[in-house]
Amino acid sequence: MKFDSVYYEQDSLKYPLGIHLWEMFQDLPWIPIENHNSIKEMQEKPNSEFGRMKRFLIVGTRKTHKYVENHKVSDYLVPYTSSGCTAMCLYCYLVCNYNKCAYLRLFVNREDMLDRLIKRSFKSERPLCFEIGSNSDLILENTITGNLLYTISRFAEEGRGKLTFPSKFHMVDPLLTLDHRGKVIFRMSVNPQEVISRIELGTSPLKKRIEAVNRMCEAGYPCGLLIAPVILVENWRELYTGLLEELRQGLTEKMKGQMFLEIILMTYSYVHRAINGEAFPNAPDLYDPERMTGRGRGRYCYRQESREECEAFLRGEIGRILGDVPILYIS
């Protein structure tokens, strides 16, 4: 992974991971900043610079540790070791929060965060599941930091309950030999290859994602798939039927026998349209005024009738092609 420069909070060099990153990227310019959340130089760049801004790496410490209740795959969403990404998915929900500043931020105080998480895992009467990958793609991050090796190994030995995270990347080989003790649920996000190529820019191809989740399953990790986000482009029915057929053919019998599905329809926004229109003028416009309606604060979601049509179609095709696979939710 190549970067043009590193912006860093000076306190981050007090941590072992901060020193490691300094040594790893010592040939790049290191630019001191006061706060990773507010870099004036970045905020003032035009939207057209969005893609190039992904080539900056931000290094700091995470100060916010608020756990948010979640009632899907996990019990809590946990702020963890990174936010943002180097990929450029045209619908990325982090853009709603960070606008064009959705570049990769690495937080080097991983010991503090995992200490807190392990302590929290013992405070409940029942084992909990913690989502640690809601703000970034930890498979991608791990290629720089090795944080998943640290996290999985230590939580397996010291933690209670489970961790989970999703990914759009295939670089799982370092995780395959870890002693995870079944405490980590891996979820691979999938979409038709045409959607990946045109909309999920900079992510792994579908075939490699399927191969990766097969390997994780074979290594004993509980695994699921996110069909996410479902985007109702003109030929969406054909595309998602094709996706399901490719999953049927490509997934191992072991994976098909134990997996679960999550399905999430796309949410879009005025901010996405503004950035994408200037940064990616040749990319498809994902705003569909006939199918979408306002969702507050400049966001759009599919109208109820479109959602119901999509859900009925996907449930039917999943049953026909993949059989009786559990669908945890469609949202």
**Per-residue pLDDT tens over the stretch 224-245:** 999 999 999 999 999 999 999 9
Structure tokens at 103: 């570049």
Whether omega before 229 lies within 30 degrees of 0, making that bond cis, reads yes
The string of pLDDT tens digits covering residues 175-206 is 999 999 999 999 999 999 999 999 999 999 99
Q: Please say if the pLDDT value at position 101 is more than 90.
A: no
Model pTM?
0.96
pLDDT class of 9 with cuts at 50, 70, 90: very high
Instruction: Give me the pLDDT at residue 183, please.
Output: 98
Distance CA 162, CA 120 (A): 12
- 14: DSSP letter: G
Mean pLDDT across the chain = 96
Instruction: Give me the pLDDT at residue 30, please.
Output: 98
Is the distance from CB of 238 to CB of 325 less than 8 angstroms? no
> How many other CB atoms sit within 10 Å of the CB of residue 35?
9
Q: Please say if the pLDDT value at position 38 is more than 90.
A: no
Is the distance from CB of 185 to CB of 227 less than 8 angstroms? no
Q: Please say if the pLDDT value at position 102 is more than 80.
A: yes
**How many residues belong to the chain?**
331
Q: Please say if the pLDDT value at position 100 is more than 90.
A: no
Terminal-to-terminal C-alpha distance of the chain: 33
Q: Please say if the pLDDT value at position 57 is more than 90.
A: yes
The string of pLDDT tens digits covering residues 156-167 is 999 999 999 999
Q: Please say if the pLDDT value at position 15 is more than 80.
A: yes
Is the distance from CB of 227 to CB of 265 less than 8 angstroms? no
Second-level CATH architecture of 5-330: Alpha-Beta Horseshoe (3.80)
* Pick from 40, 144, 131, 125: nearest CA to 85: 144
Q: Please say if the pLDDT value at position 310 is more than 90.
A: yes
